[in-house]
Every structure is written in C-alpha cells, then in structure tokens.
Structure 1
C-alpha cells in the first residue's frame, strides 16, 4: 500500500505511472466522491498504456472499451446500478474474464462478488488537494 498527495491535474501522470508499476492484477477499483478525479486518472492511465482512444466517463454507457497494445481495457461506472443483479445483467463477469484490465468506478455494489485479486485506489479530494491511497 502507498499514499500520495497531488495538487495539480498534471500530477495525475505521476500517480498513473506509479499505479502501473504496482499493478499486478487485472482489476482496479476506483473509489472517491463525484469530482474526485477518477476519470481524469483513467485518461492518464490509458495514455500511459499506449491507448489512442478517446477516454470518457462511462456514466451513461456503464462500460467503455479501450484498445491498448497489452489488450482490452474496460472502464466501468457502476454508480447508476441498483443491485448486483444489474451488474450480472451487463455481463460484468465476462468482461472481467476477458480483459487485460478492468477499471471499476463506484464498485461498492459489486465489490463483494469479485472473485479475482484486485487493487483499490481511494481518491479523497479536499479544497486544494487530492489524497490517493493505493492498495
């Protein structure tokens, strides 16, 4: 586990690099309130993975798919899901089984069902900084 603090948007580059150095699973859970920087972090992470795709929030689509030289990356936003069954209905297990990496924002509704090893990143935003906890 490690912790960091950032003060500018450009510092997400350092955080993404550090996450990639420590990433040894295919699942990354992102936790933080609205506006914490989850999608901004994901944009930088995918850039560093070599993706040329335009990265956007999957708030309305629930899942976005991106290509990288290492394989498919699926970016989920489970905020609007009401229960675990809705996660199964979108085929989340199939995505998890067939991805290089699955990034899941608002994972709480499905977290207990994940039977793969995963990392978790918590982003806490204060007035001027973001505190990052990675485990």
Structure 2
C-alpha cells in the first residue's frame, strides 16, 4: 500500500487505511528524523481508543499505552547502539505481552525478527509531502 499525504490532517486517512490491515502485533516504523513516525502513532493510538497522551519515546526508549484491545508499546531504538542494549530493555517480554508493539528505528533489532510476522511502514519526507509505504 502506498499513500501520499500533504497536511497534518491526512494522517487520519492513513490510519483509517492501515488499521484494517493490522494482522500482526509488531509494526516497524522507518523514516528519517521528523518524518512523522510519532505523529502517525498519535493518530493510530487515538483511533485504537487510547485516551493516553502519546509522546515520542526518544529518551524513555519505550512508552506504554492502554487501549480497549490491550497494551500498546511504542519503542524508539534510535539511541541503542547494539543488540545487547535492545535485549537489556526486555523487548522480548514486551513483544510477548502486547496487543501491538510499534518500533521506531528498528534497524538494530530487525534481523532478530526473522521468522516472526510483522508489518513494515516507511515514511519519506520529500519536503513537499510524505510518501508512505505499508506492508
């Protein structure tokens, strides 16, 4: 699925198109700094029924949110330097106990997901709009 958005309100359309396709409990979010990964997550959590305030987990590494369907964990692995640091935060336990895990900057952990089912979303900021791919 490919989507182009031009303004902030378009994120709602993105979420409405993606939610019916979420079949797995892992969503990898890729995109450069400022592409809109956390903005997408804010819109997604609202649509999933969360009343929690959604913030970037840049410094906390992981944020936890409540939804009627279960816990959503939002990771930002940008500052983690190696796989050992990822395991030190207990990522496996989160993955095993979540309705959904959203992982920004997943590259340091991506190879460990081999054999698991997950979704991938890429956001490219072209300067004029955002190009989104989801599978």
* Same fold? TM cut 0.5: yes
Q: Which runs of 5+ in 1 are unaligned?
A: none
Q: Structure 2: how far apart are the matches of 1:16 and 1:134?
A: 11
CA RMSD across the alignment: 0.6
Q: Structure 1: how far apart are the matches of 2:70 and 2:37?
A: 21
Q: CA deviation at 1:131?
A: 0.2
Q: What is the correspondence of 1:35-50 to structure 2 with a 5 Å cutoff?
A: 35-50=34-49
**CA offsets 1:16-49 (integer angstroms, 9 cap, x no match):** 1111111000000000000000000000000000
Equivalence for 2:133: 133
Q: Structure 2: how far apart are the matches of 1:116 and 1:16?
A: 23
Q: CA deviation at 1:116?
A: 2.3
Runs of 4+ in structure 1 over 6 Å off: none
Query: Helix, strand or coil for the counterpart of 2:23?
Result: coil
Equivalence for 1:21: 20
Query: Helix, strand or coil for the counterpart of 2:9?
Result: helix
Q: Which runs of 5+ in 2 are unaligned?
A: none
Matched, 1:120 2:120: yes
Q: Structure 2: how far apart are the matches of 1:127 and 1:103?
A: 25
Query: Helix, strand or coil for the counterpart of 1:43?
Result: helix
Query: Helix, strand or coil for the counterpart of 1:19?
Result: helix
- State the TM-score, normalized to the length of structure 2: 0.98
- State the TM-score, normalized to the length of structure 1: 0.98
Q: CA deviation at 1:127?
A: 1.3
Equivalence for 1:81: 80
Query: Helix, strand or coil for the counterpart of 1:88?
Result: helix
Query: Helix, strand or coil for the counterpart of 1:55?
Result: coil
**CA offsets 1:34-92 (integer angstroms, 9 cap, x no match):** 00000000000000000000000000000000000000000000000000110100000
Count matched residues. 134
Query: Helix, strand or coil for the counterpart of 1:66?
Result: strand
Q: Structure 1: how far apart are the matches of 2:17 and 2:57?
A: 24
Q: Structure 1: how far apart are the matches of 2:116 and 2:63?
A: 20
